[in-house]
Each structure stands twice: as C-alpha cells, then as structure tokens.
Structure 1
Amino acid sequence: MKYITIIALSLLLTSCGSAYLANKVERQLKGDWVLEEVSFPNSSGFFDTAIFNLAEVTCFENSQWSFVSNNATGDFILDGNACDKQEQNFVWYIDKQTVESSTPEMLFKITTNQKAKAVDEGSRVSIKSLLEDQMVWQQKVTLENKEVIIEMTFVKQ
C-alpha cells in the first residue's frame, strides 16, 4: 500500500509540473508581437507558400499578433506586401507533453467567425526560442515532396 501511495503521489507531481511549465510559457507569450521575419533555414532559396493554409509568406511579414494567456485566445492582422489587410482570431495552447523538451510546441486553430469547437483543423509549431522581447517559431511543411522548415521570428512590442 505504501508503494502505491508513493507511485500515485509521484505521478501527480509529475503531471502538475508539466501544467505549471505550460502555464509559465503561456504567460511569457502574453502580449503584442510583430512577425518580423520569415525564413527557410537549411533550404536554398525562398518559397512563397501558404502559412497555416491561410495566406502566402509575404502576407505574414510584419503582421501584428496579440496573445491573451488567461483565456488562450488571440488575433493577428495580416498586412504584408500587396495583401489585403485581414484580421484573424485564434485559440492556442502549449502542448503539456512537449513543454519539458528543449522546443515546446504550441497548437492553435484559426477561429475567425466561428467557435473553436467547430474548427477541426489546426497547426502545430515548435517554439525554438522564447525570450522577453523575441520569439522564434518553426513549422515543418511539405513542399514539392520535401520537408521544409519555416522559421518565424517575432519581436515583442
């Protein structure tokens, strides 16, 4: 019985640790950010592909993002080169199963004009770095039958 109690307690503490770390990362994301640069590390050239199945890379450059950590919502405004200005809403959370790794992952769904539970598709990005004033995301996509990494660098406003 003593061993069962110890095992149960250790499982509880482990699960609480991941939740605590995820909440800490979510609080760091809180605020307004500008997507300053989109690049393709380890690839030769530039690919003008759709990011998050929404718009071309050039539309995302200099987009303004806002993260609200207490209800895991946010919005961004696309206002890139020769793109129509559009505002998108999203819900997001940090994947608690990846938060203890060196690159925690964020999952989010674009929810503009609909409830989050009605949206079946979302995106997963790795948070390569998260500092007080800068954040870098990486997303793996398939282009021309090859896996390509899109790297997005944000600066906090």
Structure 2
Amino acid sequence: MIKNSWVLGALFLVLTSCSLSKEVRQQRDTINGTWVLNDVSYEGEQGDYKAKLFNDADAYCFEGSTWYFLENNSTGNYNINSSTGACPSGVRNIRWSVVENEAGADRLQFKYIDEKKKDINGRTGYGMDIVSLSSASMTLKSNVNVNGSPIAVVYTFNKQ
C-alpha cells in the first residue's frame, strides 16, 4: 500500500510539473489567431538603426506582416508581403510557445519549422518579452546590445 502511494505521488509530481500555469494557458488562448504587426520601433540609445529581425529580413519588412498562431498544436506562421520586391516575401512556418522566465516575466518564443513541422535550424529560436496582451492588441519586446548599449526592439500587433 505504501509503495503504491509513493508511485502515485511521484506520478502526480511529474504530471503537475510539466503542466502550464493558468496564466500561460490564458495567454496562449489570447494569442491564438491572426495578428498584424503594425509597428517595429526602438527604445534606448538614440539613433537610426537598421535591424535584421529573426535572422530573416530588415525590420521595416515586418511592418504589415501577418502572424498566425494556432494554440492547439503550437504551430503557426508569419507572412511578409512585399510589393516593392525589396523584402523577401512569403510565409515562414513556426512552432511557438509562451514560457515564464526565472524572473517571472512571460515570453513568446518561436523557431522555424518546415512543412512537415520539423525544426529547420536545430535548437535555434527567438524570444520576446510580453509587455502587454489583450484580445485586441499585443506588444512584445526583445532586448539587444548595440555597441555596448542596451536597445529594445518593440513589436506592436493588432488582432484581426
């Protein structure tokens, strides 16, 4: 009887330690759907910046891009539309998640996948802090260093 109780207790701990917190589940549910990235801006050291985001395209190419997040299988994509040809158009498939970091802040992270949902770049991915999130808008921020000075890239989305 004691052995069975110990096994059930260990199983309970494993199952609960792998589950998502209520807050993370709510955020995933809110993020689920289609979003438009309306603005990419910078905070921190003053200056003009040319940034290549997510090892993909220049920041201005992402303005107006459409992002789709499917909560039930943690996949989605983003689509860059370029009428000028200056930006690499097309759909990029992603696997995404919301995680809570050591400081208690929530982050949206993603990595590239192929059509068969296999990782393209191994374990390489990208993460952004969730600054604000509602059913209509989302603001994300990623921190980088430029010449030793901290700069934040701010992404402002509206839900479609």
TM-score (norm 1): 0.80
Describe the SS at the equivalent of 2:43.
coil
Deviations 1:63-96 (A, max 9, x none): 011110000011111125631321101001111x
The question of 1:40 aligning with 2:65 is answered no
1:132 paired residue number: 135
Unaligned runs of 5+ in 1: none
| Aligned residues of 1:61 and 1:79 also touching (Cα < 8 A) | no
Describe the superposition over 1:94-127 as per-residue Cα deviations: whole angstroms up to 9, x where unpaired: 11x33993x4112210124564445320011101
Q: AA paired with 1:23?
A: R
Inter-partner Cα distance in structure 1 for 2:126 and 2:133: 18
**What's the counterpart of residue 3 of structure 2?**
none
TM-aligned CA distance change 1:18 to 1:48, over 3 Å = same
Work out the percentage of aligned pairs sharing the same amino acid: 29
Aligned CA-pair RMSD: 3.0
Asked if 1 retains the 8 angstrom alpha-carbon contact of 2:112 and 2:119, the reply is no
**Greater Cα radius of gyration, structure 1 or 2:** 2
Matched to 2:92, the amino acid is Q
- In 2, Cα distance between the equivalents of 1:88 and 1:16? 29
In the alignment, is the contact (CA less than 8 A) between 1:40 and 1:46 conserved in 2?
no
Q: Structure 1 67/115 Cα, relative in aligned 2: closer, same or farther at 3 Å?
A: closer
Q: How far apart in 1 are the matches of 2:116 and 2:61?
A: 22
- Segments of structure 2 that go 5 or more residues without pairing to the other structure are 1-5
Sort the Cα spacing of 1:93 and 1:67 in 2 relative to 1 into closer, same or farther, 3 A.
same
The number of residue pairs the alignment matches comes to: 151
1:59 matched residue in structure 2:
61
Query: What is the aligned partner in structure 1 of residue 21 from structure 2?
Result: 19
Change (3 A) 1:106 1:143: same
For 1:111 and 1:16, how far apart are their aligned partners in 2? Answer: 23
TM-score, normalised to structure 2, is: 0.79
Structure 1 residues 1-157: aligned runs within 5 Å: 15=17, 18-80=20-82, 82-95=86-99, 97-98=100-101, 101=104, 103-112=105-114, 115-120=117-122, 121-157=124-160
